[in-house]
Chains A and B, each alone.
Chain A
Amino acid sequence: MIVYLLLVLFAATFLVLIVKRDEIAIIAILFSFFSMCYMFMNPEIMVFGFGGWSPPFGIVWVLDKLNVFLALLVTGISSVIAVYSLKYIKERRHRYYTLLCLITIGLLGVSLTGDIFNLYVFFEILSVSSYALVAFFLNEHAIEGAFKYLMVGSMTSLFILIGIAMLYGLTGTLNFADLASKISHDPPYMVALGLLVAGFSLKATIVPFHAWKPDAIEGTPAPIGAIFTSVSTAIGVYGILRILFIFNLIQINWVLILFGAITMLLGALMALVQVNVKRMLAYSGVSQIGYVIMVIGFGTLLGITSGLYHILNNALIKTLLFMGIGIGIYLTGKENLNEMGMKNTPLLICVGIGLLSLSGIPPLNGFVSKWLIFMASWEISPMLTAIAIIASALTLAYSFKIFSAMFLANRKIEAKVPKILLIPVIILTALCVFIGVFPQAGLNMIEPAVNALLNQNQYITAVFGG
């Protein structure tokens, strides 16, 4: 079943290059999104063994609630971006869509797999296509960002590989469920855990590993920046969560809380002083992931719920903002905030809502997850709540900077926005407002995922029983 989904994406990857029609890639990505919607409706944990091998020996893909939630998010964001890019990318579009299909395969594979080496393979597919997409424009900035990302990224991928090799040497298995039942908490296992967490935290951009992100995003097309700040970070956080889940260590973890708090503040402070739009949003993404990492470190029910909710909201908001600002870049051709003044009412409303939501103003989705985060951190320590509120205030400050530079500037360009660029932005804005007004709808999506994450035995029995 799931094999055909992969085959469709894989075939689309090469058909785009041969037939030179971009619509194929869009249809394939949309197809993966709708099939994930269908999978999401299914209440049980589904296990697919590749090649007819039973779980501990063959590669399995496990569709538990957390995996499917993430896959839904990933394919949804990818399909929105695929539609948007049809107009945004002007040259060499076939190669762009090939790489976009590959990145979707990588994201989907990482989020659905139940085998740790398979996870590494898909992670590398994701990484390699990301490096190529960073270099897409082939100008000086793009090449520089791509080289930095490639060096840092491949180094941490190798850390992940060392961790996997150590785990295999210690336990003799690669399957998540089998690993979970064989793992103990001795120092060698903990070294492997540290290596794996460090490797995934590069994609999630936790502070000492964050430096590649603004540099890479400054040279990319804006929709790819959206993928990096929203979905790719979600994959990184998922990796950390899944590794902690395997080690049965979803409990209070001061390492993550410490790194999360530092990430939150540093990202917001660095975003405050940027002049380039994409760079500012990249640092903003770093800051938002800090919240998620901090609340995941609490290990409580409320903490994990708010963390996953913030991943969802951050993905929606960041994609909306990157796309809205991408329209600005498309119209003006400039990325410096000074030169981006424009006059366009629908764009103003959408980007304005996105910025308000980013900084957590009440009737929007950013507030909902931030409120949950404040409540979760209040249970642990009021100090952490204070840090989160300070970071939130800084977020409001840099959001205002973007808004003022784009829409309140003196020099204004009056330009018509192409419809195909505006429609995805409007859809995402509507989603943001909807989740803000009916937060229970988002919570209903996340609660099964949190339950799946906190219930390790259920996962193990589902994999070996099915």
Chain B
Amino acid sequence: MDVIIRNVTKGLLPFIIVFGVYILLHGHLTPGGSFPGGVIIASGVALLAISFGLRKAERLVKEETAHVVEGIVALFLVLVVLFESFARDMLTPTGMAFGLWSAQHVLLLNVVGGVMVSMALILIVFLLMKE
């Protein structure tokens, strides 16, 4: 890829990932949540892979790591749902407008689901780019 895209990527990549994490963490307060946040994180990695090549991107996230992390995080999702159904009141309180630490298990679900989505999308991008 040409110089402009490379340099822009270099500058923007941290911000893209931070923005993704922000969307993840504020999923219960503002529009967004696990899927959009995960997609934004994955699109940052995809941008890296497109502009610098696959090898550079694999230095950030390896393919095998993505595989394993996705599976383990999916199991975490099961655990969160189980925990929610047994001990709903032990989690954070409900109904504080614009308070990050609220809305019970939704925050946890968003984070776990976001990691899962981002890993899955990174895997898809890597596998399709290898062809």
In the complex, A touching B (Cβ < 8 A): yes
Residues of A within 8 A of B (CB): 3-4, 7, 10-11, 13-15, 17-18
A-B contact pairs, 10 of them (CB 8 A): A3-B81, A4-B82, A7-B81, A10-B77, A11-B74, A13-B74, A14-B71, A15-B71, A17-B67, A18-B68
A10/B74 in contact, CB under 8 A:
yes
Q: Are A17 and B71 in contact (CB under 8 A)?
A: yes
A11 and B78 contact, CB distance less than 8 A = yes
Q: Using Cβ atoms and an 8 Å threshold, which residues of chain B touch A17?
A: 67, 71
Nearest CB of B to A414, in Å: 44
Which B residues lie within 8 Å of A3 (CB)?
81, 85
The distance in angstroms between the C-alpha atoms of A3 and B74, with both chains bound, is 16
Cβ-based interface call for B100 (8 A) = no
- Which residues of chain A are near B85, meaning CB under 8 Å? 3
Residues of B57-92 whose CB lies within 8 A of A:
67-68, 71-72, 74-75, 77-78, 81-82, 85
B71 touches A11 (CB 8 A): no
Q: A10-B74, A11-B78 are in contact. List 17 more A-B contacts (CB 8 A).
A: A3-B81, A4-B82, A7-B78, A7-B81, A7-B82, A10-B78, A11-B74, A13-B74, A14-B71, A14-B74, A14-B75, A15-B71, A15-B75, A17-B67, A17-B71, A18-B72, A18-B75
B87 to chain A, nearest CB (A): 14
For A15, the chain B residues whose CB sits under 8 A away are: 71, 75
Query: Which residues of chain B have C-beta atoms less than 8 A from A11's C-beta?
Result: 74-75, 78
Q: Given the complex of chains A and B, what is the CA–CA distance between A3 and B71 in angstroms?
A: 20
Q: Mark B12-48, 1 if CB is under 8 A from A, else 0.
A: 0000000000000000000000000000000000000
Residue in B closest to A10 when the chains form the complex, CB atoms: B78
Closest to B74 in A: A14
Instruction: Report whether A18 and B81 are in contact in the complex, using a CB–CB cutoff of 8 Å.
Output: no
Interface residues of B (CB under 8 A from A): 67-68, 71-72, 74-75, 77-78, 81-82, 85
Give the tally of cross-chain contacts (CB within 8 A): 24
How distant is B94 from chain A, measured CB to nearest CB, in Å?
A: 12
Nearest B residue to A7, CB-CB? B78
- Quote the shortest CB–CB distance from A161 to chain B (angstroms): 18
Q: Is the interface of A mostly helix, strand, loop or mixed?
A: helix
Q: Which residue of B lies closest to A11 (CB)?
A: B78
Instruction: Give the Cβ gap from B76 to chain A, nearest Cβ, in Å.
Output: 10
With most chain B CB atoms within 10 A of its CB, the pick from A3, A15, A18 is A18
- Distance to closest chain B CB from A4 (angstroms): 8
Residues of chain A with a CB closer than 8 A to B67's CB: 17
Closest to A18 in B: B71
In this complex, the member of A7, A14, A17 whose beta carbon has the largest number of chain B beta carbons within 10 angstroms is A14
Closest to B77 in A: A10
Top 8 A-B pairs ranked by shortest CB distance? Answer: A14-B74, A18-B71, A14-B71, A11-B78, A7-B78, A17-B71, A14-B75, A10-B78
CB distance from B45 to the nearest CB of A (A): 21
- A18 smallest CB distance to B (angstroms): 4
Q: What residues of B have a CB within 8 angstroms of the CB of A7 in the complex?
A: 78, 81-82
Q: How many angstroms from the CA of A7 to the CA of B80 in the assembled complex?
A: 11
Contact partners of B77 in chain A: CB under 8 A: 10
In the bound complex, how far is the Cα of B74 from the Cα of A14, in angstroms?
7
CA distance A18 to B82 in the complex (A): 20
Interface centre among B68, B72, B74, B78 (most CB of A within 10 A): B78
CB distance from B68 to the nearest CB of A (A): 7
Separation of A17 and B119 alpha carbons in the complex (Å): 15
B107 to chain A minimum Cβ distance, whole angstroms, is: 15
Task: Report the bound CA distance from A291 to B67 in whole Å.
Answer: 46
Task: Report the bound CA distance from A17 to B71 in whole Å.
Answer: 7
Expressed in whole angstroms, the Cα–Cα distance for A11 and B76 within the complex equals 9
Give Cα distance in the complex from A10 to B75, angstroms: 8
Q: How far is the CA of A3 from the CA of B67 in the complex (A)?
A: 26
Distance of A3 Cα from B81 Cα, bound (Å): 9
Docked complex Cα distance between A18 and B64 (Å): 11
- Chain A residue with Cβ nearest B72: A18
Docked complex Cα distance between A4 and B85 (Å): 10
Whose C-beta in chain A lies nearest to the C-beta of B78? A11
Q: How far is the CA of A44 from the CA of B72 in the complex (A)?
A: 38
Report Cα–Cα, A11/B79, bound state, in Å. Answer: 9
A residues less than 8 Å from B71 (CB atoms): 14-15, 17-18
Residues of B within 8 A of A10 (CB): 74, 77-78
Q: How far is the CB of B66 from chain A (nearest CB, A)?
A: 12
A10 to B78, CA, bound (A): 8
Report the minimum CB–CB distance from A63 to chain B (whole Å). Answer: 18
Closest residue on chain A to residue B82 by CB atoms: A7
Q: Which A residues lie within 8 Å of B75 (CB)?
A: 11, 14-15, 18
B77 to chain A, nearest CB (A): 8
| Assembled-state Cα–Cα distance A264/B78 (Å) | 44
Q: Tell me the bound Cα distance from A4 to B86 in angstroms.
A: 11
Taken together as a complex, chains A and B put the C-alpha atoms of A4 and B72 apart, in Å, by 18
Chain A nearest CB from B43 CB (Å) reads 22
In the assembled complex, how far is the CB of residue A7 from the closest CB belonging to chain B, in whole angstroms? 5
Whole-angstrom distance from the CB of B32 to the nearest CB of chain A?
A: 20
Q: Select from chain B the residue with minimum beta-carbon distance to A13.
A: B74
Of chain B, the residue at the smallest CB distance from A16 is B71
Give min CB distance, B114 to chain A, whole Å: 17
Query: What's the least CB distance linking B104 to chain A, in Å?
Result: 10
